[in-house]
Amino acid sequence: MTPTQQASPRVGVLGITNDAAVGLVRRPARTLLCALATAVAIAAFVTINGLTESARGAVSASFNVLRATTVQFTGGTSHDPILSEQGVGRLRRLNGTIDAGLLWSLNQGQPINVARGPDEQDSSTATPLAFTSMSASALTTIGATTSSGRLYDTGADLHHEMVALLGASAAAQLGITSVIGSPAIFVGRSSLTVLGIVRSAQQEDQALLGVIVPPYAAAVIAGTRDQRQVIARTTPGAAQLIGRQGPYALDPYEPGEITAEVPPDPSTLKASVEKSITTLLGLLGLAGLGVGILTITSITMLSVSQRRSEIGLRRAIGYSRREIAGLIATEAAGVGILGGILGVAIGVITTVVVAQTRSWTPVLATGLVAVAPIIGLLVGMLAGAYPAIQATRITPMSALRS
């Protein structure tokens, strides 16, 4: 039997891995210290990512869904009210509009004296109240609800009914607690039948402080000089779109005359928050990983030079250069994986603690948690490459010279 004709004896991947694992476990202090460098880098990575996510969550939470789906249109001079019921009808047919209605403040927003009796107009018993005109659809758009009576509908304008709704506080000021008996209020020479007392509305709730009347009654009381507004509710996410399309629907001839007031786009705001943090994340993460790689490299180099005799002995015993390199690289990779796992743990804890102090909901990408040990492995392998090559240059002769 010629020895070299036999299969070359090999330690094998399993043997090397086992050897490396034992080496790491038996030198826990060095292993841990070495892993800590990677751990800190990956912890920073995970923490920044987690905090970005959590902050984004907090930003979106601060967006009121209601506000984010409301669009207001203003336009037209007082003499030329270009916002009309017809326009609102077209706006309502746009895909993404849930409801829309006309509304405006009467008398330039100045209060108008309201009396309980026809002869009390100028007496000191008259109560100054703000008047808002709303089409029937505007009432549903703002989500008004009554505590007594009912809301008016489109029939009120159609039949030129002189009706009014009182906000809860206005009703209290006028001493009206219920619409039973059809109480009336007097404005100038007009009398308005109180149809209902509005308890709450999701929008435009300043209108609840005063009197709400349909457009016809508003015109009778204060004329048509006031600037009109259209309020529209959209499906979530459609506000921007309706804001752009609305002017064309409201007045196809002069869309430029109409300005739309849309809520800030949550996605652009989030993106701007995200962008600045992502850049920071990228830089810090990379810097951290770089430090991790350098640390593992230098500690592994040190370890290789301390273990010259061990490496020489292994070479003398018959470990090939490749197996020596494998051993050193595997140890470094093991350190990297350990660092990755430690880093994720530290990162998760830090994220949760910081989010807690900011009373954010901690949000963590599960993928990152799974990927971190792999990042650690790559860091370790990258860091171990050079020392591993160095180790193969050690000859048994030089290392074992007594």
Binding-site ranges for another protein (CB under 8 A): 2-4, 6, 8-11, 15, 19, 22-23, 26-27, 309-310, 312-321, 395-397, 400-402
Cα–Cα distances (Å) from 93 to 71, 84, 86, 249, in that order, read 15, 15, 11, 9
Cβ proximity to another protein, 16 vs 348, nearer residue? 16
- Rounded Cα–Cα distance for residues 242 and 97 (Å): 7
How many beta carbons lie within 10 A of that of residue 60, not counting itself?
15
Q: How far apart are the C-alpha atoms of 377 and 380, rounded to whole Å? A: 5
CB of 337 to another protein, least distance (A): 20
Tell me how far, at minimum, the Cβ of 27 lies from another protein, in Å. Answer: 6
CB of 399 to another protein, least distance (A): 9
- Residue with Cβ nearer another protein (18 or 177): 18
Is-contact 333 377, C-beta < 8 A?
Answer: yes
CA–CA distance, 284 with 280 (Å, rounded to integer): 6
Closest of 222, 221, 265 to residue 241, by C-alpha: 265
Nearer to another protein, 10 or 160 (CB): 10
Residue type, 250: L
DSSP sequence for 329-362: HHHHHHHHHHHHHHHHHHHHHHHHHHHHHTTPPP
- To another protein, the closest distance from the beta carbon of 396 in angstroms equals 5
Q: Indicate the residue among 159 and 401 with the shorter CB distance to another protein.
A: 401
- Quote the least distance from Cβ 386 to another protein, whole Å: 21
**Quick one: 65 or 397, whose CB is closer to another protein?**
397
CB of residue 33 to another protein, shortest distance in Å:
16
10/150 with CB nearer another protein: 10
Give strand ranges (E) for 253-372. Answer: 258-261
Q: Which of 174, 177, 179, 197 is nearest to 112 (CA)?
A: 174
